[in-house]
Structure 1
Amino acid sequence: MYLARNFWIAAGLAAGLLASSAQAAPPPVKGEILYDSYGVPHIYGKDEPSVFYGFGYATASNHGDVVVKLYGQARGRAAEYWGPAEIESDKWVIANDIYERAKAWYAQEPASFRANLDAFAAGMNAYFKAHPDKLDPSVRQVFPISGVDVMAHAHRLMNYVYVAPQARTMGGNADAGSNAWAVMPKKSASGNTLLLANPHLPWAPSQLTYFEADLNGPGIKMYGATQVGLPVLRFMFNDRMGFTNTVNGILGATNYELKLADGGYVYDGKVLPFTTRTTSLKVRQPDGSLKTETLELRSSVHGPVFTRADGKTVALRVAGLDRPGGVRQYWDMGKAKSFAEYQTIMKRLQVPSFNIVYGDKEGHVQYLHNGILPKHADGNVAKWGGLVAGDTSSTLWTEVHPYEDLPKVIDPPSGYVQNTNDPPWVATYPQVIHAKDYPAYVANPGPLSLRAQQSSHLMADPPKITFDDFVARKLTSHVLMTDRVLDELLAAAAQSTDPEVTEAAAVLKAWDRTVNADAKGALLFEAWARKFAGPNYISDANYRVRWDPEKPIDTPTGLKDPAASVAMLKAAAGEAIASYGALDRPFGDVSRFALGKVDLPGNGGFGNLGVFHVMTWSPLKDGKRTPVHGETWMSMVEFSTPIKAQGLMSYGNSTQPGSPHRSDQLEQLSKETFRTLWTTRAEVEKHVESRVAY
């Protein structure tokens, strides 16, 4: 089909799109989308805007309902579109000036990149114009989409979901996770660089859902994934290089607790008045009418001010609000033709957060603890990550660290870099960077999670790694915690005459110490580990040897109190029987990969048990549990000639209702197999499901 496009003539303004009439000749073809049999769009454009246009069109076709709602939220008009449930979202966007700042950021971009953003929006608009019935009626009112909307969504996601999440300011939590590896030729059996991209985020459709795509044009070859609605790939590779991200929680935002007095706030011994402004938002009522609500907004010298549910008044200060180029930086990173060029791009420091791991065909690898990090005179992560005293100018930061100050590892003697959201100090092993050489607020010195330790051993232990071994190690379901405590637990249990303890110990002894689908004993061990190491499996208080920075990937270990540990086993056995009906219920009978009509045995476990193949499971319901978080996009690449690339999008590549690509990769996830990623036009042509020309 041909879709009318005039964004390259009129700066991509969505409202200017016109449909081709039946009598008119079709416009010149600027690009084509080939959707493969997994719903992955392979986009071939004749210039940059046409690549962005195709990506926008494909985004709407695969994830339109989710993305268009996100754009409505980024405008701060979600309550107007969808009712009172969106009021708090709108207040957050409006109070932080997200959409207004996005307008300014959009204007500051070079004209060429504004055209790209406009083209992405135009592609979404074109899909809606061609297929209005394919989108939920409730989101249609958000159209037309503009380049500013695209920028606003990216700004909200990066700065106000990752760096300064609403929950953290208002007194809640915000967590995420991922794995990343890059292996140098000297540690690769083939002599080629290897790269793993492996983010872990929620499975429920949201702004954190991943979308796999293949972008091609003059000087453009990018295969990978990104969060839905972003116009660029955040996880990508091509024939020469690639990069991936993990969440690092860098402290790019500060929450200041204010002392109120006389209608203002105390600052350096004086009472200062709040800066105030009045605005409004519209709220859709059940009968479809709109009600206007007035917002009285306050700000201090720190930033916008909020009142929390606990009564505390907090001001939020976010670093990087003067740096509009994060989206463009990702795009340019993917076009880099050398490691030197890539590093020059990274030095822009426009991307506000994330560990970024890089590898290339020439043999270079890099780990970077990336982010826009405020400078402080003193203090550690605990101080600057909590509520900071806002009554003194001594805590008000005004500068940020340059690229040169950030922890990084380049081409280490070990031959690899890794990260699993852990602090940067064991990005490779033996260590080459140390916490003592950086300000204490950069990252905690430790402890290192068991997943991070598992990752380090998977990379550090073998002298050489083949591509097949690389793939197999990604799927590691071995529970590292068992290496530290299980033998001692079984020895202690052998001294007990309690039949329940004896039976439970027998199950754990026979267990293969994995969280594979057929593992018998994994569920029982989980129940015991929750008692031993806490509900999130992170406490080392019950280990005989606690985590030791001198042995960062081999501690904690042992049982501090064997008798108490055995008592925990008895209690865990009772819970397992009550929950699962048996001590040795197979892991996959309870843990299910279930989406729509698909319901298959699951695998993968909680990362804090030391499982690298991560799956965080829901509470038990009707005897089953399903993923709430964990393995999403996975890609493993060897930069050979030609490259080897395997991967999987665990929950499928579309969230649109009725799409066959919502759950079509669950079987491979259940069987622990991967797809070959089709990266060449010739390969793609063999697997085309549909085509769109534009």
Structure 2
Amino acid sequence: MYFPRNLMIAAALAASLAAAPAAVQAAPKGEILYDTYGVPHIYGKDEASVFYGFGYATAQNHGDVVVKLYGQARGRAAEYWGPAEVESDKWVIANGIYERAKAWYAQEPASFRANLDAFAAGMNAYAKAHPEKLDPAVRQVFPITGVDVMAHGHRLMNYVYVAPQARTMGGNADAGSNAWAVMPRKSASGNTLLLANPHLPWAPSQLTYFEADLNGPGIKMYGATQVGLPVLRFAFNDRMGFTNTVNGVLGATNYELKLADGGYLLDGKVRAFETKAASLKVKQPDGTLRTEPLELRSSVHGPVFTRADGKTVAVRVAGLDRPGGLRQYWDMGKSKSFADYQAIMKRLQVPSFNIVYGDREGHVQYLYNGILPKHADGDVAKWGGLVAGDTSATLWTDTHSYEDLPKVIDPPSGYVQNTNDPPWVSTWPQAIQAKDYPAYMANKGPMSLRAQQSSHLMADPAKITFDDFVVRKLTNHVLMTDRVLDELLAAAAQSADPEILEAAAVLKAWDRTVDADAKGALLFEAWARKFAGPTYNNDANYRVRWDPAKPIDTPVGLKDPTQAVAMLKAAAQEAKASYGSIDRPFGEVSRFALGKVDLPGNGGFGNTGVFHVMTWSPLKDGKRTPVHGETWVSMVEFSTPIKALGLMSYGNSTQPGSLHRSDQLEHLSKKTYRTLWTTRAEVEKHLESKVPF
């Protein structure tokens, strides 16, 4: 009998799920209420039920993306999807990610293993009930197990954030976020305020965010996380909340090895590599599998790799003895007091990220969190690059404790903030100083213009209302203009060149924002690239460069006004060529476009001092679209009841055909936010569907 291929795959999937262990198939009781933005509100009778519902919702909203990530975390992606995945598999296998995940899973308490299993079971249940909703290419990964969930979390945290493959192999890896927490003394209402505002790529990936609401006995967590994680990394409830920003803690070291006699040099002696035979399977175009042998090498430092430039490097990652990062996030969300929360944070199981906290009782905290190796000397430049691997003097063996890490708790200023900058100006006036910490802890500076904008938005007002909190979050003012534009206009006024005078007139009339109707924003952006470099962060052309004594008010001025005016003429010519005119409205070119939705965009490059961040693609067919920037946003006032507004910029589902892939772009375009429905009564007023389990 003939079966269409999709039906055959679906039948195979059903068979594999039916054959899965009973523990994976167990379905605790509960229900998922989907609201009209596709946000799952999960209600379970116990912890495992909540995890089960979250796993089911994950498969429904992001199944194709997440299941592929799980296949990659197994180190079997090339077996499933072919040669394009070979390098990914080699990285996973060489670093022992899946094998370590098995060990980590076994080390978790039985209760948390049950939670991981339940999350996996929820995904399996969705796949069994709706195989046609999943891409046939990912169905072969089922059934999912608790080890798969652990492996994905391990790969993301330790080998995407802390030790990204690109960095070891000679590339780059960057991300960003904003965070604020305001104490009652600075809040007009006397209530704590908290902003969560991560910025990551818009293309569906392991960095895509998923909004959810988790409810059970003693459990109330609303927020977001990266797809595939079984816990919320950005969460709040009626009492407290926390958020993360990327901090670049140097939790991994890349050692350059000197080769000799088939081995490597260490302290003047040749050491043999430890070797291990392994293999991976690679799917061929005809569907057959080719086995590719691997020889895994390691030194005393860690796994060894050969880069494209011919250098041999070994990567050493801190925290590989700490399996509890996912559980720590879960327990942070269940904490009952600030003291309880701090005790959980002292576990130091989460390997990276600034973490900002606020609660109803009025406490706020900024923590430069991470598992950071101890070194005898050196700075970020030394330990962030290739480190000499031929001497044991560079081989670290210990890490810093929670007590060693920079942190600010309940400062006199009444607030903490972070925008991925070093920790030293996490509040203003400064509460901690770089001189009191090892130079390798974090760079001393310079402080980005986005961070300076963030500091002024929080420090300048005596009191902040919740409405003002929202308005300040949405500011599209370009701080860089405050530092240079008046001097540029004055210098341009001395010119007789009509092109320069025309450009100056446009910039003088411009409102200095990157709002959709702003005329002059595109011209200034073109000038700023010439003045401050392609990433807008080079201060060499300022009259006063960044000064650690004036960290939120420098750099400033034009070092060479004549050169700056010449740059303005070149920028005007570039703008005319690119956009057709030098005063084209910003939102005509910059578009929030996904699927059938195409709306005027706003927001700009953070290094120009824009807090409402949007990183735009190169121009194509006369327009550009977001590649990175505003993703998940939540703003909470811990009043009674709480106030909560937010947005998932690109929508809460990546599944093909979902109504929730681009349904929030109108809010983004209009600079408005949704009310976050945090109670069951509110959810039932905005109910799209209900899934019992």
TM-score bracket relative to the smaller structure: over 0.9
3-state SS of the aligned residue for 1:448? coil
3-state SS of the aligned residue for 1:42? strand
Rounded to whole Å, the distance in 2 between the matches of 1:423 and 1:267 is 34
Kindly provide the CA deviation profile for residues 295-332 of structure 1, in whole angstroms up to 9, marking residues without a partner as x. 01100000000000000000000000000000000000
Kindly provide the CA deviation profile for residues 588-642 of structure 1, in whole angstroms up to 9, marking residues without a partner as x. 0000000000000000000000000000000000000000000000000000000
- Specify the alignment match of 1:16 in structure 2: 22
- Specify the alignment match of 1:653 in structure 2: 652
Rounded to whole Å, the distance in 2 between the matches of 1:381 and 1:17 is 47
Matching of residue 507 in structure 1 with residue 506 in structure 2 = yes
Rounded to whole Å, the distance in 2 between the matches of 1:403 and 1:690 is 44
Rounded to whole Å, the distance in 1 between the matches of 2:103 and 2:422 is 34
- 1:503 maps to amino acid: E
Matching of residue 254 in structure 1 with residue 253 in structure 2 = yes
- Contact conserved, 1:84 with 1:285, CA < 8 A, in 2? yes
- 1:651 maps to amino acid: Y
3-state SS of the aligned residue for 2:278? strand
Rounded to whole Å, the distance in 1 between the matches of 2:358 and 2:52 is 29
- Specify the alignment match of 2:210 in structure 1: 211
The alpha-carbon deviation at position 361 of structure 1 amounts to 0.1
- 2:164 maps to amino acid: P
The alpha-carbon deviation at position 422 of structure 1 amounts to 0.2
- Specify the alignment match of 2:372 in structure 1: 373
Please list, as runs of the form range in 1=range in 2, the aligned pairs for 1:168-317 lying within 5 A after superposition.
168-317=167-316
- 1:227 maps to amino acid: Q
- Specify the alignment match of 1:472 in structure 2: 471
- 1:16 maps to amino acid: A
- Contact conserved, 1:484 with 1:557, CA < 8 A, in 2? yes
Please list, as runs of the form range in 1=range in 2, the aligned pairs for 1:78-117 lying within 5 A after superposition.
78-117=77-116
- Specify the alignment match of 2:15 in structure 1: none
3-state SS of the aligned residue for 2:358? strand
Matching of residue 141 in structure 1 with residue 140 in structure 2 = yes
Please list, as runs of the form range in 1=range in 2, the aligned pairs for 1:309-328 lying within 5 A after superposition.
309-328=308-327
The alpha-carbon deviation at position 573 of structure 1 amounts to 0.3
- Contact conserved, 1:13 with 1:146, CA < 8 A, in 2? no
- Contact conserved, 1:13 with 1:118, CA < 8 A, in 2? no
Kindly provide the CA deviation profile for residues 626-660 of structure 1, in whole angstroms up to 9, marking residues without a partner as x. 00000000000000000000000000000000000
Matching of residue 540 in structure 1 with residue 539 in structure 2 = yes
Rounded to whole Å, the distance in 1 between the matches of 2:124 and 2:257 is 45
Rounded to whole Å, the distance in 2 between the matches of 1:374 and 1:32 is 44
Rounded to whole Å, the distance in 2 between the matches of 1:29 and 1:251 is 41
Kindly provide the CA deviation profile for residues 152-177 of structure 1, in whole angstroms up to 9, marking residues without a partner as x. 00000000000000000000000000
Kindly provide the CA deviation profile for residues 336-374 of structure 1, in whole angstroms up to 9, marking residues without a partner as x. 000000000000000000000000000000000000000
Rounded to whole Å, the distance in 2 between the matches of 1:17 and 1:439 is 49
The alpha-carbon deviation at position 18 of structure 1 amounts to 9.5
Rounded to whole Å, the distance in 2 between the matches of 1:52 and 1:501 is 61
The alpha-carbon deviation at position 47 of structure 1 amounts to 0.2
3-state SS of the aligned residue for 1:142? coil
3-state SS of the aligned residue for 1:187? coil
- 1:93 maps to amino acid: V
Any gaps of 5 or more consecutive residues in structure 1?
1-11, 20-26
3-state SS of the aligned residue for 2:140? helix
- Contact conserved, 1:14 with 1:122, CA < 8 A, in 2? no
- Specify the alignment match of 2:4 in structure 1: none
The alpha-carbon deviation at position 16 of structure 1 amounts to 2.5
Change (3 A) 1:46 1:508: same
Change (3 A) 1:231 1:144: same
Please list, as runs of the form range in 1=range in 2, the aligned pairs for 1:23-34 lying within 5 A after superposition.
30-34=29-33
- 1:620 maps to amino acid: L
- Specify the alignment match of 1:555 in structure 2: 554
Q: Which runs of 4+ in 1 moved over 6 A?
A: none
Rounded to whole Å, the distance in 2 between the matches of 1:230 and 1:169 is 24
- TM-score of the two chains, using structure 1 as the length reference: 0.97
Rounded to whole Å, the distance in 2 between the matches of 1:606 and 1:407 is 28
Kindly provide the CA deviation profile for residues 457-484 of structure 1, in whole angstroms up to 9, marking residues without a partner as x. 0000000000000001000100000000
Aligned residues: 676
The alpha-carbon deviation at position 29 of structure 1 amounts to 6.8
- Contact conserved, 1:49 with 1:119, CA < 8 A, in 2? yes
- Specify the alignment match of 1:439 in structure 2: 438
Any gaps of 5 or more consecutive residues in structure 2?
1-17
Kindly provide the CA deviation profile for residues 46-99 of structure 1, in whole angstroms up to 9, marking residues without a partner as x. 000000000000000000000000000000000000000000000000000000
- Contact conserved, 1:15 with 1:144, CA < 8 A, in 2? no
Rounded to whole Å, the distance in 2 between the matches of 1:28 and 1:477 is 47
Rounded to whole Å, the distance in 2 between the matches of 1:357 and 1:50 is 29
The alpha-carbon deviation at position 30 of structure 1 amounts to 1.2
Rounded to whole Å, the distance in 2 between the matches of 1:598 and 1:681 is 31
- 2:606 maps to amino acid: G
The alpha-carbon deviation at position 15 of structure 1 amounts to 3.6
3-state SS of the aligned residue for 1:226? strand
Rounded to whole Å, the distance in 2 between the matches of 1:483 and 1:13 is 65
- 2:616 maps to amino acid: W
- Contact conserved, 1:14 with 1:145, CA < 8 A, in 2? no
- Contact conserved, 1:14 with 1:146, CA < 8 A, in 2? no
- 2:678 maps to amino acid: T
- Contact conserved, 2:28 with 2:49, CA < 8 A, in 1? no
Rounded to whole Å, the distance in 2 between the matches of 1:477 and 1:442 is 32
The alpha-carbon deviation at position 263 of structure 1 amounts to 0.2
The alpha-carbon deviation at position 493 of structure 1 amounts to 0.1
The alpha-carbon deviation at position 562 of structure 1 amounts to 0.3
The alpha-carbon deviation at position 17 of structure 1 amounts to 7.1
- Contact conserved, 1:17 with 1:126, CA < 8 A, in 2? no
- Contact conserved, 2:24 with 2:121, CA < 8 A, in 1? no
- Specify the alignment match of 1:601 in structure 2: 600
The alpha-carbon deviation at position 454 of structure 1 amounts to 0.1
Rounded to whole Å, the distance in 2 between the matches of 1:650 and 1:207 is 16
Rounded to whole Å, the distance in 1 between the matches of 2:404 and 2:496 is 59
Change (3 A) 1:29 1:291: closer
3-state SS of the aligned residue for 1:629? strand
